[in-house]
Structures are given as C-alpha cells and as structure tokens.
Chains A and B, each alone.
Chain A
Amino acid sequence: MNQNSHQPKKRSFISTSLKFMLAAASIAGTVGLWGVFSKKDAQASAATISDSPLPTILTLVPFQTANSAAVPTSDTSISSLPVVTQAPVNNSTQIVQLNQPSPVTNTKSSRP
C-alpha cells in the first residue's frame, strides 16, 4: 500500500500574497534607510570640511593690466582666459585740453 498517499499534504502558513507584501516592505525599508544614512553622511562630510579647513596654500597671482588681457575669440572660452586683477579704478577726471600735444611716450612703473 502506498503510505505516502495517506500523509497529509504540507500546508503553507504564509500565503503568496503575504510573501509579496513582505518582500516589498523589505525593499522599501532598505531603500529608505539608505536614503536616511546617505543624507547623514553628506551632512557629516559638510560639517567636517567647514569645521577643519585645509591648510592655506601660498599662491602667486601675477598682476596684469587691462591692456595685457587676452581678447576673446570665437574659440576661446571664458575659463581659458587669463585672470586679470587690477586695483580699483579711480574715476578721477582726466582733463584733456584743446591743443594739448600727444605724449611721445609715458612714464610709468617699470613694465616689460
């Protein structure tokens, strides 16, 4: 006689739909926690940078006059232009009189 046929069929205590719900909840929980933790990490990193700045690096910046600045061309991007620093311009009135001769040259602090 076949005894197996008399054994009661193993019953599933968790229904398929419940399995799906558990899986979905697990995924949602993982993603949610990931988001929370990553946000905390970002905040922590930002706080670290602002709290302990890197040691200052000495820099040399050449001073160039407006005359020496490169003129942008069609294939020149702004980022490739040289940095031009200049003392604030004093809008002092330049008096040009009639009949004033043109200067042969100009005296100025030593230039190349």
Chain B
Amino acid sequence: MGSRIFLAMDSEKDLWSNFRESVMQRFEEWEQSLSRFRSTSELSEVNRHSGQWQQVSDTFWQVLTLALQVEQETQGIITPAVLDALEAAGYTINFEDLGNTADRWLRQPLPTLANVREIELDESNHAINLPHGLRLDFGGVAKGWAVHQTMLILREYAPVLVDGGGDIAVSGPMQDGSAWPIGITDPMNASANLGLVMISSGGVATSGRDYRRWQVNGHWQHHLIDPRTQKPADTDVLAATVIAASVMDAEKHSKQCLILGSSETQRLDSPKDIAFLLVLEDGRTIESNNFDQFRWKESCKATHDKITV
C-alpha cells in the first residue's frame, strides 16, 4: 500500500510480539489482493480480464463493495474508476520510484471514461463482471479498510490505535479512560503540527496534495483525481483532515473535501458526526463548528475523555 503501518496498544503486556507475524501476513495478503502496483495481484488480474465474469476473494469482494458504496454516497466524486486518469497524470508506479519515469509519462494514452455503475455483481458466488475496458484502483478506500480491519482484530486484546500512512483508526479510549492524542501535521511544514486532537474512538484521516505530487512542465500534478475532469483535482484545499466514526468514513470525507474545494465543502450538508479542518493553499485554515471540541485543551481535559464521534 506504499505506507508505513504504525500500531499502538495500551497494555502492560508485550502483545505486539504475539501478533506481529499474523498482522504482517494479513497485510501481505491484502497487498497481494488489492495492489495495482503488483502485476500478479488479484486486482491486476481482474483488470486484465474486463468483460468476463471472474470469481474474486472475500477481501476483494469486501473492498469492491465498499468502494462502490462510497462511489454512490459521494455521487461519483470518490470512484475506483480513475486508474486511467491516474496513469495519464504520470502515476504509473510506486510514488517513490516516479523520479525516473519521464519516458513512461510520455507514452501514456489519454484517459478513457468508464462507468463504474455498469459493474455486474453476483453476490452468491462473489463473482464480478467489469465493463470492457474498465480498470479499477481502490486507492485510499483499500488502505482505510485495511487499517480498520487491523483495528477490529487487535481491539479484542487491548485498546489499540492503528495508523496506516496517516489514516488512523482508534478502537476506544485507553485503559485509564483517556482519549488518544493525535497530532495534525502541517502540510506546509512537515516538521510542525497544526494542533493536537483527542480521539476516544473512531477514525481520523487526512487527504492532501502536499506530498504525493510531481511536476510536469512547471505544473504540479497530484494523485487525487477529480472524476469530473479526469485530471488531478484543481482545488484550493492543500490538505483536509476529517474526524469521523470510522477511519473509512474519515478517509472518504477527507478526500471528498479536498476534491470539492473549500467553497463546495462548506455548502455540503455534511453529516453531523464528522468534523473537518481544511488547510488552504494560501495558508488559511477553515474548520467545521464542531472541530474545536476535539482539540486538546488543558482546561477541559475531562471532556475529551468522554468525546466519542
């Protein structure tokens, strides 16, 4: 998934050594199923056989149905059908290896529009049929799902926080009842924090175009595609941080906020159970009315302990 996974368990016992192997094995299995960067992955195999019925694994089925649900909930803003556009923008291989791929960029075809709602699903057999030419990329949906699954597995043993490259799932308050302190990295200065939020349970995610980006002819490209234009989103939001009931919800809303931009985000009838902080390109910040209640404040520490999204 191209991300570092960080786990914190609140326990006096050394639980991590018991779960290390199994957790790493699960991530390897998920990577082998869901990665578009592995030519042997299940996703790559499915993408190569569009137009045919194919049986898929439970993991693939769960992530696909989640991605389709997200696509409907966001009215197509977050869609798994932007792989062609991503590759046309130059994101063809792992981001860390992008530096020497100017020639690859020059050979990319123009993106093709494909309708993700034409995917046929056979739930009883976990079989799918992609419309001819459609290729999928689960992107952040897969990462949020994997982080959430890991949290669900480990929460049986101790309060746990799982961080997948900045998308964070929290199982519940720590053993002493207090919330988990989570910093918000300043997208304009990665070594600084914009503040500290206290999360008792749920998820926090940040989408941004401050890191995974590259230049073409002096113009910045980034990895968050606006499906309406099939190009990297032209937005005034540099980074969007969302607190929600689950890391999957937080990931979905943060990406939506970034793609839509600050004006549309503020016009949205956002669910009451999310809180957002937008950092704009000019350095200004905009936050939802309820974001402040998650910020760490010495004077109301007791309140933080009770907050649950």
Interface residues of A (CB under 8 A from B): 56-63, 65-67, 85-90, 92, 94-95, 97-112
Residues of A within 8 A of B140 (CB): 110
Considering the chains assembled together, what is the distance between the CA atoms of A99 and B299 in angstroms? 11
Contact of A112 among B2, B106, B196, B206 (CB under 8 A): B2
Residues of B within 8 A of A56 (CB): 217
| B18 interface hit (Cβ, 8 Å) | no
Considering the chains assembled together, what is the distance between the CA atoms of A63 and B296 in angstroms? 31
Residues of A within 8 A of B105 (CB): 58, 60
Considering the chains assembled together, what is the distance between the CA atoms of A106 and B4 in angstroms? 12
Judged by DSSP, the binding face of B is: strand
Considering the chains assembled together, what is the distance between the CA atoms of A95 and B185 in angstroms? 13
B212 x A109 contact (CB < 8 A): yes
Contact of A103 among B186, B193, B216 (CB under 8 A): B193
Q: Show 28 residue pairs from A and B whose CB-CB distance is below 8 angstroms, ordered by the A residue.
A: A56-B217, A60-B90, A60-B98, A60-B102, A60-B215, A63-B211, A63-B212, A66-B190, A67-B190, A87-B188, A90-B186, A90-B189, A92-B186, A92-B192, A100-B296, A101-B181, A101-B296, A102-B181, A103-B183, A103-B196, A104-B182, A106-B183, A108-B166, A109-B209, A109-B211, A110-B140, A110-B212, A112-B4
A57 nearest CB neighbor, chain B only: B102
Considering the chains assembled together, what is the distance between the CA atoms of A87 and B186 in angstroms? 11
Residues of A within 8 A of B238 (CB): 87
Place the interface of chain B in its size category: 35 or more
Judged by DSSP, the binding face of A is: loop
Contact of B211 among A90, A94, A110 (CB under 8 A): A110
Contact of B193 among A57, A94, A112 (CB under 8 A): A94
A60 x B214 contact (CB < 8 A): yes
Interface residues of B (CB under 8 A from A): 2-4, 6, 8, 90, 95-96, 98-99, 101-102, 105-106, 140, 143, 161, 163, 165-168, 180-196, 204-217, 238-239, 241, 283, 296, 298
Considering the chains assembled together, what is the distance between the CA atoms of A98 and B297 in angstroms? 10
Residues of B within 8 A of A85 (CB): 215
Considering the chains assembled together, what is the distance between the CA atoms of A81 and B96 in angstroms? 16
**A27–chain B nearest beta-carbon distance, Å:** 52
**Contact of A108 with B185 at beta-carbon distance under 8 Å, contacts A63-B211, A100-B298 already known:** yes
A105 x B3 contact (CB < 8 A): no
Residues of A within 8 A of B298 (CB): 97-100
Contact of A62 among B99, B166, B205, B217 (CB under 8 A): B99
**Contact of A67 with B191 at beta-carbon distance under 8 Å, contacts A100-B196, A103-B183, A107-B182 already known:** yes
B8 nearest CB neighbor, chain A only: A104
**Contact of A110 with B167 at beta-carbon distance under 8 Å, contacts A90-B188, A90-B283, A103-B183 already known:** yes
Residues of B within 8 A of A86 (CB): 190
**Contact of A60 with B216 at beta-carbon distance under 8 Å, contacts A104-B180, A111-B4 already known:** yes
A107 x B167 contact (CB < 8 A): yes
Known A-B contacts: A61-B215, A109-B207. Give 10 more (CB < 8 A): A60-B105, A89-B189, A92-B194, A97-B296, A98-B298, A103-B196, A105-B161, A108-B166, A108-B206, A110-B211
Considering the chains assembled together, what is the distance between the CA atoms of A98 and B165 in angstroms? 28
Considering the chains assembled together, what is the distance between the CA atoms of A87 and B6 in angstroms? 26
Considering the chains assembled together, what is the distance between the CA atoms of A97 and B182 in angstroms? 15
